[in-house]
Amino acid sequence: MNQAVLPAMLSGLRVLDLTRNLPGPFATRMLADLGATIIKVEPPEGDPARPLGGLFEALNHGKESRRIDFKSAEALGQLREWAKESDVVIDSFRPGVMASLGLDHATLSQGHARLVSVSITGYGQHGPWANKAGHDLNFMALSGVLDQVRAPTGEMALSNVQWGDLAGGSSMACIATLAAVFEAQRSGHGRALDVSMAHGLFAHLVMPRATGPLMKSMLGRWPGAGEDMLNGALPCYNLYTTLDGRTLAVGALEHKFWRSACEVFARPDWADIHWQRGVLPHTPPSDALKSEVAKLVASQPLSVWADRFEPSDCCVTPVLTFAEAKAHPLFAELARQPWMAMT
């Protein structure tokens, strides 16, 4: 008996997408993955990501693309007609641009009370930074996130995952859109939402706000690189270099996982040297254990540790390259939408 094919969860949701580059298109791509109809509106020259074919395809598959001249009054009138047929309008212009085009929420929602308007901005609609230009690196830098992803030795890392664009922008915009649509369906009234990438990133600084004061009480200052709970202070939650210069990710945060990891390491005597057993970070026993684990991990190549830990259930994994991750069974057999399975 064939299983019935269920309709996509957002089937029937119509989104007018005026965004470009990375944050907005990834947000609407996620909505498209969930079944929404996305009408992508581009300027005559096309989205700036088009010359990077692979990037454009990754961000915009499953969308219907249309092009208009945003300097043409007639074209803008056509765009307003498209908005009347849409549930959501998403843009990534600087503050004030949508209003100057006659595409602000107050205008578009006339006679269309359920319309949801979502603007993705760098620093918000108001305040001294509202009209400043910025890219992912700037949002990372100003929010304090970039400082939090330093190596334990203090070097800055220029991430090839654009956390400001994708976490602070795309994901937050997708969540905000779905919440506003849910409300509009119940109340009959939409909203105008502003998603600031810098503020969205700042909201992700959960651990520094929660554990920073504790570490400060131990160190006499705010923790730096490698000194907070989850960025290097704990022996059970750390990165260790292997014999061949690769890296083993030990994420055995809870005592039960650390105990299992110690069995694989063949060091059961380490099991109770753990923060949940009262051995706090930045104490001599904790620091000594970090050195011992590092020495042991450095005695074997990554492949050995990967093989030993693969059958275990203790949150210890090899650090893979992108090419290795693509070939890993966990990802290799998945379809184009790897972030969620629907049944």
Judge whether residue 249 has pLDDT over 90: yes
Helices (H), the chain: 23-33, 53-60, 73-84, 97-100, 105-108, 136-143, 145-148, 163, 172-187, 197-203, 206-219, 255-264, 284-297, 302-309, 322-327, 329-332
- Please determine, looking at this structure, whether the domain spanning 235-332 carries the CATH number 3.60.20.10: no
Instruction: Give yes or no on whether 14-203 and 235-332 have one common fold.
Output: no
The answer to whether the CB of 137 falls within 8 A of the CB of 158 is: yes
CA distance 234 to 261: 14
What integer pLDDT is reported at residue 338 of this predicted model?
Answer: 55
Q: Is 228 a catalytic residue?
A: no
Q: Which of 87, 136, 165, 228 is catalytic?
A: 165
State the pairing for strand pair 88-91/14-17: parallel
Does the pLDDT value for residue 35 go beyond 90? Answer: yes
Confidence of residue 4 (pLDDT cuts 50, 70, 90): low
Confidence of residue 341 (pLDDT cuts 50, 70, 90): low
Give the other-Cβ count within 10 Å of 124's Cβ. Answer: 17
What pLDDT does 342 receive?
Answer: 64
Q: Which pLDDT does position 328 carry in this prediction?
A: 87
| 1, pLDDT greater than 50 | no
Q: What is the pLDDT of residue 204?
A: 96
Distance, in Å, from the CA atom of 205 to the CA atom of 42, rounded to the nearest integer, reads: 34
pLDDT, tens digit, 9 for 90 and up, residues 288-331: 999 999 999 999 999 999 999 999 999 999 999 999 998 888 88
Q: Is the pLDDT of residue 194 over 60?
A: yes
Mean of the pLDDT values across residues 279-295?
A: 97
In SS3 terms, 62-77 reads as CCEEEECCCCCHHHHH
| Paired strand residues for 116 | 88
Mean pLDDT of the chain: 93
Instruction: Name the residue ranges covered by the structural domains of the chain.
Output: 14-203, 235-332
| CATH C-level class of 14-203 | alpha beta
At residue 274, does pLDDT exceed 70? Answer: yes
pLDDT at 340: 67
Q: Please give the structure tokens belonging to residue 117.
A: 């308007």
Predicted local distance difference test score (pLDDT) of residue 2: 46
Cβ pair 196, 123 in contact under 8 A: yes
